[in-house]
Amino acid sequence: MKLSEARPGQRLCVIGFGRLGRAQLKLMDLGIVPGVEIKLLSRFLLGGPLLLQVGRTHVAIGRRIADGILVEEVSGKD
């Protein structure tokens, strides 16, 4: 599914990218690469940004970018 369709609190694994162009490099700079586990912390209202936990950092990304990140849910607890 797309990251933009995930629910807050879900733990997810990045499996690939859609057409993001330049923005994809920036995501990879912040450690968001295929195979990495992330957690969706919250979604801001009215199509606002999504807040993710990547490793020990929090990263905010716009909704359009979240549309271009493909993820699958990871089972198991923290």
Contact 59, 52 (CB under 8 A): yes
Q: How far is the CB of 22 from other proteins (least distance, A)?
A: 4
Report which secondary-structure segment, H or E, holds 14.
strand 11-17
Q: How far is the CB of 38 from other proteins (least distance, A)?
A: 13
Comparing CB distances to other proteins, the nearer of 29 and 75 is: 29
Tell me the H-state helices in the chain. Answer: 22-29, 63-67
Other Cβ atoms closer than 10 A to 61:
20
Q: How far is the CB of 75 from other proteins (least distance, A)?
A: 21
Chain positions contacting other proteins, by CB under 8 A: 16-17, 19-31, 33-36, 41-49, 51, 54-65
Comparing CB distances to other proteins, the nearer of 19 and 75 is: 19
